[in-house]
Amino acid sequence: MKEIVVVGLGPGSFGQLSLESWQVLNIGKNIYFRTGRHPVIKELANKGIVYNTFDYLYDKKESFAEVYESIADELICKVKDQKQVIYGVPGHPFVGEITVPLLIKKAKEQGISVKVIASMSFIDSMLSLLQIDPVDGFSVVDALDCNNKIISVDQHIIFTQVYNRMIASELKLYLLDIYPFDHIVYVVRAAGISDEEKQGKVILSELDRLEWFDHLTSVYVTPLKDTERLEMIKAKKKAKYLLDPLINVIDKLLSPEGCPWDREQDHFSLKHCLIEEAYEVIEAIDCKDMDKLREELGDLLLQVIFHTALAQRRGDFDYNDVVEEITEKMVRRHPHVFGNVSVSNSSEVIKNWEQIKKEEKGNDTKGKRIMETINRSLPALLMAEEVQKKARKVGFDWDDIKGPLEKVKEELKELEDVIFLKNGNKGKQLEIEDELGDLLFATVNVARFVCVSPEIALYSAVRKFTRRFNYIEENITSKNMDWKEADGKLLNNLWKEAKLKGI
């Protein structure tokens, strides 16, 4: 009868290889290893073991599932031409080794015998290194498939196959939905291999900051205490109760049975709605009207949910992605709160924020000129402010407020000259526009130096003008007058009245 002998190669060192596994390898022929990327392989080669690997399949196939399927199929083909084939896998054949149960299933269908010889698994080494008793409750989860698992947070959990920072980042986001951001986790590389073993203790939010992830790396998550668990469950239930009804309403509106107008919208058509709702929130804040603020914040939240729903339907991202990304960003940009960075004032906070933001952007701004990183969708006043801030960062700025104030006077004089001294000039209108733009830009500089937002300042001025204008209109109406009957003197007096009354 044809036979495939599956041999466990242990965690990594020759001393952890079982005696029976060594005896099979030492006298056997037709030896195939799933991968040559395992520390014990080099030791076996030095002892004269001749072997082949399936590493080439990792480059040819598009997914790990296809790789594992191909390995099992090739082993079945090879054993048909030979009496026996030996297949070596890292660790223990039944611990995190997907190819083995797949191979057994295919072999059984073909009437081929499979014999499995055990060795130590990396789990044994990790339990010893971390001093864990699995009797207390213990799970092993494949990091590449954790989204499909239900984990018990009160148990010890080891996540395998965390072989690069991208997987570590995805695992972190998954775990942040379950554990607190500052929950303790351990990153372990090459457990049980004395010359290569490495261990790092970090909080969950910093899991993917380590730079030494590789194919021998696993992550150990400590059990969650009962009190922490209860607090988190309560918080999750509250968050789910608050957001789900609104999400369900939007989903219904966008369904075939929903609203025709809503179904016609896209990210671009909704831009003006987003801007309007943001300004209505600002108006509610300025009015100090908490009922109105609650209402307007709801309208603004609706826009966030609407845009996210549209993106989810396209397969771009979903609600959890939005929440996870901003949560991770806020934790990352506040190392003085969630990490071990110390700050003495808000200026240091802003300095750290900008440095972290710069590191996050990384290649996004690499090779670009300074002004090419400006958001061109900003309103003109906000864009002017942003441009000036960019220039300041490289030292191109006034020394103090006197410079911007003098510049305003200079630009005002140039505007007056264009308006009053250049009659008959065909390009006069363009010159006025140009000089007026310079005056506005100079005014933004003054606002920046006195730490005032020019956008908010102008918005407040518009609202103030509107209130006073409304006062004038009410007075004219109360006198049963028409606007045409109100002369300049009356209007000016009413304006002064409104001003004196603090309107």
pLDDT tens column, 383-428: 888 888 888 887 888 889 999 999 999 999 999 888 887 555 555 7
- Residue given tokens 């599932």 in the structure block: 65
Q: At what angle do helices 454-478 and 380-393 cross, to 10 degrees?
A: 150
What is the C-alpha to C-alpha distance for residues 414 and 371, in angstroms, rounded to an integer?
27
> What single-letter amino acid sits at 400?
D
CATH topology of domain 229-332: Helix Hairpins (1.10.287)
- Token duo for residue 361: 């952007």
Q: How confident is the model at residue 56 (pLDDT cuts 50, 70, 90)?
A: very high
What is the C-alpha to C-alpha distance for residues 503 and 501, in angstroms, rounded to an integer?
6
Helix, strand and coil in the chain, % to nearest 5: 60, 10, 30
pLDDT tens column, 436-466: 999 999 999 999 899 888 888 888 888 888 8
Mean pLDDT across the chain: 86
pLDDT at 352: 84
Q: How confident is the model at residue 69 (pLDDT cuts 50, 70, 90)?
A: very high
pLDDT value at 230 more than 60: no
> Across residues 470-479, what is the average pLDDT?
88
Q: Domain 124-224 is in which class?
A: alpha beta
User: Considering the chain, what percentage of its residues have pLDDT values greater than 70?
Assistant: 93
Q: From 46, 106, 37, 41, select the one nearest 70 (Cα to Cα).
A: 106
pLDDT at 115: 95
End-to-end CA distance of the chain: 99
Non-local (6+) Cβ contacts of 81 within 8 A are: none
Alpha-carbon dihedral angle through residues 164, 166, 172, 177, given to the nearest 10 degrees: -150
What is the C-alpha to C-alpha distance for residues 399 and 427, in angstroms, rounded to an integer?
35
For the domain with range 368-452, which CATH number is right: 1.10.287.1080, 3.40.50.300, 3.30.310.50, 3.40.640.10?
1.10.287.1080
pLDDT value at 429 more than 90: no
Q: For residue 47, give Cα distances in angstroms to 9, 20, 50, 185, 503.
A: 14, 16, 9, 38, 93
Q: How confident is the model at residue 102 (pLDDT cuts 50, 70, 90)?
A: very high
pLDDT value at 237 more than 60: no
> Across residues 192-206, what is the average pLDDT?
86
pLDDT at 342: 85
Outline where 34-151 has alpha helix (H). Answer: 39-46, 55-60, 64-81, 99-110, 122-130
pLDDT at 264: 93
What is the C-alpha to C-alpha distance for residues 77 and 58, in angstroms, rounded to an integer?
19
pLDDT tens column, 265-309: 999 899 888 888 988 898 888 888 999 999 999 999 999 999 999
pLDDT at 486: 83
Sequence length of the chain is 503
pLDDT at 242: 67
CB 85 within 8 A of CB 4: yes
pLDDT at 89: 94
pLDDT at 423: 58
CB 2 within 8 A of CB 80: yes
pLDDT value at 195 more than 80: no
pLDDT tens column, 108-163: 999 999 999 998 888 888 888 889 888 888 888 888 877 767 777 888 999 988 98
- Token duo for residue 454: 């020019």
CB 199 within 8 A of CB 220: no
Q: What is the dotted CATH code of the domain comprising 3-120? A: 3.40.1010.10
